[in-house]
């Protein structure tokens, strides 16, 4: 009996959902005259690459709360206003700590042979206070578990440059560097699989770090990275060096640099810390194993700023009409990692958001709801800019209460990549399916065709979903993200694909307009945790 009741209950739920979907689909309307104008402006008169060029070539890398980031914010304000978008503001989202920027880096091996070295300093680490010529010593921090493990290095590190990790074995890559999502992959992603599988269960950061470092699970680490560095500082080490993070398909002069987190004025300034091309790092290690003394010539100039401990978002608005108090938001993070110029991650997304607003203003769109664009700060530090903004406008994180603007919020669309749009993640919100199906239809010819039932995380739409507001991220082609640009020195303007950014900006403008003119409430989120941020 229970089994039959359960089946009948499931059928009833399915009928109810189907009925809701039918009602939504039946009432969904598209203003095709406006869509044609959006397509014409976005695909024939695009300015997205000009915007991206300024954000990268002139203002890159835009590390959070750096002079280059702040200058990019002020430039974007002027750009919005030059398009006739007058309501633009730079808003503080909260305190982040000291500002930081690299101003000069010079790294060479000078003995036993000369070699110029590809290397980049980690953000929020110190400079060298001048030019240093020093010998190297190897300290495998993967094997430092207890304070007793440090004893063997006492008295041996004064004035030394420390190589921190073992050699990295480099692998041949037989796959293409640049790829688009295949129909097979997209269909697999779009299949309805809403049960959280074991491989998708999140792994704690500390555990993942141990797995990546090869740390033995038979030993318990009680030495933190901070304690190890404190020991190095007391012993008089002058520079720390590690190889770029491996991803099999990277290397060959590509250096992935995952910066440190911001520090406060009360924190100790971390030692000068370089991330080096694995090929060069391996050569130094091999020479040391052969018994040769390796000497390096290093100069790093890093500047810290303590005049303002706050970080900022940029907010721009196109006012609505009869529903102007309701808010449709589009956004992308403007900050980036330090090694490149932050092109694919995420000047591309920022340029797409700015271009979408320009398109809507250029065609004199008349949204009913206010369309609000955001360029977020400090996404690379943990989505801090968007979390701070949501906390100021929609939901008090500490008190866990809704703020007055919460009920005026309609929907948020995020862009955090550089490949063309192929569809959108539903985030478990299946009632949004017929809405997005209708909105995507005018762009099927541009490749915008897929809906993925599950979620994707790791970027700013999660700040909205976290408090129950509908937020979405688009499915985008991988291109060279995981083979060349992901937080690397190759994340530069030359990697951007103009046609992809034009397509994305055009579709984003249409989605924002459709949301801002749509009848009725947007379906509330029903988030699930079975998706994937990373396609490959």
Q: What is the pLDDT of residues 279-298, one digit of tens each?
A: 999 999 999 999 999 999 99
Give the Cα separation of 365 and 238 in Å (integer). Answer: 58
Hunting for tokens 């959902």 — which residue is that?
Answer: 17
Q: Would the pLDDT of 15 be above 50?
A: no
| Residue bearing the bigger pLDDT, 200 or 353 | 353
Q: What are the φ/ψ torsions at residue 500 (nearest 5 degrees)?
A: -70, -45
What's the Cα-to-Cα distance from 114 to each of 170, 244, 265, 271, rounded to whole Å?
A: 23, 21, 39, 25
Hunting for tokens 């996404």 — which residue is that?
Answer: 379
- Provide the pLDDT for residue 383: 97
Give the Cα separation of 71 and 357 in Å (integer). Answer: 20
Considering only 12-16, 36-40, 171-175, 486-490, which range has the smallest mean pLDDT?
A: 12-16
The CATH code that applies to domain 100-305 is 3.50.30.30
- Provide the pLDDT for residue 221: 79
pLDDT band, very low/low/confident/very high, at 263 (cuts 50, 70, 90): very high
Token pair, residue 359, equals: 């398109």
- Provide the pLDDT for residue 18: 41
pLDDT band, very low/low/confident/very high, at 355 (cuts 50, 70, 90): very high
- Provide the pLDDT for residue 394: 98
Q: Which of 71, 119, 151, 114 is nearest to 272 (CA)?
A: 119
- Sequence-distant (6+) residues with CB within 8 A of 105 are 119, 120, 121, 274, 299, 300, 301
pLDDT band, very low/low/confident/very high, at 331 (cuts 50, 70, 90): very high
pLDDT band, very low/low/confident/very high, at 247 (cuts 50, 70, 90): low
pLDDT band, very low/low/confident/very high, at 214 (cuts 50, 70, 90): very low
The CATH code that applies to domain 31-96+309-517 is 3.40.630.10
Mean pLDDT of 189-211: 50
| Residue bearing the bigger pLDDT, 387 or 188 | 387
In percent, how much of the chain has pLDDT > 90?
80
- Provide the pLDDT for residue 191: 82
Give the Cα separation of 350 and 460 in Å (integer). Answer: 12
Task: Name the pTM for this structure.
Answer: 0.90
Neighbours of 261 (CB within 10 A): 15
CB 535 within 8 A of CB 181: yes
Chain region(s) in the chain for CATH 3.50.30.30 = 100-305
- Provide the pLDDT for residue 21: 40
Chain region(s) in the chain for CATH 3.40.630.10 = 31-96+309-517
Considering only 174-188, 329-343, 414-428, which range has the smallest mean pLDDT?
A: 174-188
Q: What are the φ/ψ torsions at residue 328 (nearest 5 degrees)?
A: -105, 130
Burial class (CB in 10 A: 0-12, 13-18, 19+), 413: buried
| Residue bearing the bigger pLDDT, 14 or 226 | 226
- Provide the pLDDT for residue 527: 65
pLDDT band, very low/low/confident/very high, at 86 (cuts 50, 70, 90): very high
Mean pLDDT of 17-41: 74
Beta strand 421-425 with 450-452 is: parallel
Q: Would the pLDDT of 73 be above 70?
A: yes
Give the Cα separation of 65 and 443 in Å (integer). Answer: 37
| Residue bearing the bigger pLDDT, 204 or 8 | 204
Mean pLDDT of 4-22: 38
Burial class (CB in 10 A: 0-12, 13-18, 19+), 348: buried
Q: Would the pLDDT of 92 be above 90?
A: yes
What are the CB-based long-range contacts (under 8 Å, 24+) for 224-228?
Answer: 225/141, 227/147, 228/141, 228/144, 228/150
Alpha helix segments (H runs only) across 91-224: 183-190, 205-213
Q: Would the pLDDT of 8 be above 80?
A: no
pLDDT in tens, 480-491: 998 999 999 999
pLDDT in tens, 119-159: 999 999 999 999 999 999 999 999 999 999 999 999 999 99
- Sequence-distant (6+) residues with CB within 8 A of 456 are 425, 427, 473, 475, 531, 532, 533
| Residue bearing the bigger pLDDT, 334 or 176 | 334
Q: Would the pLDDT of 11 be above 70?
A: no
| Residue bearing the bigger pLDDT, 535 or 503 | 503
Q: Tell me the Ramachandran region of residue 21: left when phi exceeds 0, alpha when psi lies from -120 to 50, beta otherwise.
A: alpha
Mean pLDDT of 11-25: 39
Q: Which of 29, 31, 45 is nearest to 506 (CA)?
A: 45
What's the Cα-to-Cα distance from 168 to each of 164, 180, 249, rounded to whole Å?
A: 12, 29, 13
- 116: which strand partners? 108
pLDDT band, very low/low/confident/very high, at 172 (cuts 50, 70, 90): confident
Neighbours of 320 (CB within 10 A): 20
CB 314 within 8 A of CB 463: no
CB 503 within 8 A of CB 497: no
In percent, how much of the chain has pLDDT > 70?
88
Mean per-residue pLDDT over the chain, rounded: 90
- Torsion angle, alpha carbons of 87, 93, 97, 103, to 10: -30
Helix (H), strand (E) at residue 433: helix 433-440
């Amino acid at each position: 009996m229970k089994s039959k009741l359960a089946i009948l209950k499931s059928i009833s739920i399915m009928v109810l959902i189907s009925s809701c979907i039918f009602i939504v689909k039946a009432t969904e309307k598209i203003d095709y005259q406006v869509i044609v104008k959006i397509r014409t402006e976005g695909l024939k008169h695009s300015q997205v690459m000009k915007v991206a060029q300024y954000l990268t070539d002139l203002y890159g890398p835009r590390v959070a709360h750096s002079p280059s980031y702040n200058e990019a914010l002020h430039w974007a304000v002027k750009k919005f206003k030059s398009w006739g978008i007058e309501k633009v503001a730079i808003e503080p989202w909260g305190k982040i700590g000291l500002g930081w920027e690299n101003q000069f880096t010079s790294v060479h091996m000078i003995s036993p042979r000369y070699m110029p070295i590809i290397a980049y300093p980690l953000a929020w680490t110190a400079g060298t206070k001048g030019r240093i010529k020093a010998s190297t010593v190897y300290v495998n921090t993967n094997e430092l578990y207890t304070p007793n493990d440090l004893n063997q290095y006492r008295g041996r590190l004064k004035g030394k440059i420390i190589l921190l990790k073992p050699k990295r074995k480099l692998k041949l890559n037989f796959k293409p560097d640049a790829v688009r999502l295949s129909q097979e992959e997209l269909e697999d992603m779009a299949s309805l699989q809403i049960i959280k599988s074991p491989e998708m269960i999140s792994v704690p950061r500390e555990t993942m770090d141990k797995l990546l470092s090869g740390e033995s699970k038979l030993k318990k680490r009680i030495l933190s990275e901070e304690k190890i560095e404190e020991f190095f500082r007391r012993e008089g080490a002058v520079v720390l060096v590690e190889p770029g993070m491996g991803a099999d398909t990277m290397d060959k002069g590509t250096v992935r640099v995952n910066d440190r987190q911001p520090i406060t004025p009360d924190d100790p300034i971390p030692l000068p810390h370089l991330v080096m091309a694995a090929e060069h790092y391996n050569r130094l290690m091999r020479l040391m194993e052969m018994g040769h003394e390796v000497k390096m010539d290093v100069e790093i100039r890093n500047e810290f700023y303590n005049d303002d401990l706050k970080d900022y978002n940029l907010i721009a608005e196109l006012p609505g009409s009869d529903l102007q108090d309701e808010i449709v938001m589009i956004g992308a993070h403007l900050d980036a990692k330090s090694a490149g110029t932050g092109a694919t991650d995420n000047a591309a997304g920022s340029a797409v958001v700015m271009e979408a607003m320009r398109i809507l203003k250029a065609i004199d769109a008349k949204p009913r709801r206010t369309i609000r664009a955001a360029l977020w700060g400090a996404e690379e530090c943990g989505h801090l800019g968007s979390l701070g903004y949501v906390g100021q406008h929609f939901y008090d994180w500490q008190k866990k209460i809704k703020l007055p603007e919460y009920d005026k919020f309609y929907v948020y669309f995020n862009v955090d990549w550089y490949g063309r749009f192929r569809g959108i993640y539903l985030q478990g919100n299946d009632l949004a399916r017929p809405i997005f199906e209708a909105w995507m239809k005018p762009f099927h010819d541009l490749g915008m065709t897929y809906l993925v039932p599950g979620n994707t995380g790791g970027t700013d739409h999660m700040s909205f979903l976290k408090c129950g507001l509908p937020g979405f991220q688009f499915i985008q082609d991988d291109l060279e993200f995981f083979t060349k640009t992901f937080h690397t020195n190759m994340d530069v303007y030359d990697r951007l694909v103009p046609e992809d950014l034009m397509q994305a900006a055009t579709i984003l403008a249409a989605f924002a307009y459709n949301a801002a003119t749509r009848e009725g409430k947007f379906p509330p989120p029903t988030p699930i945790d079975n998706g994937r941020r990373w396609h490959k």
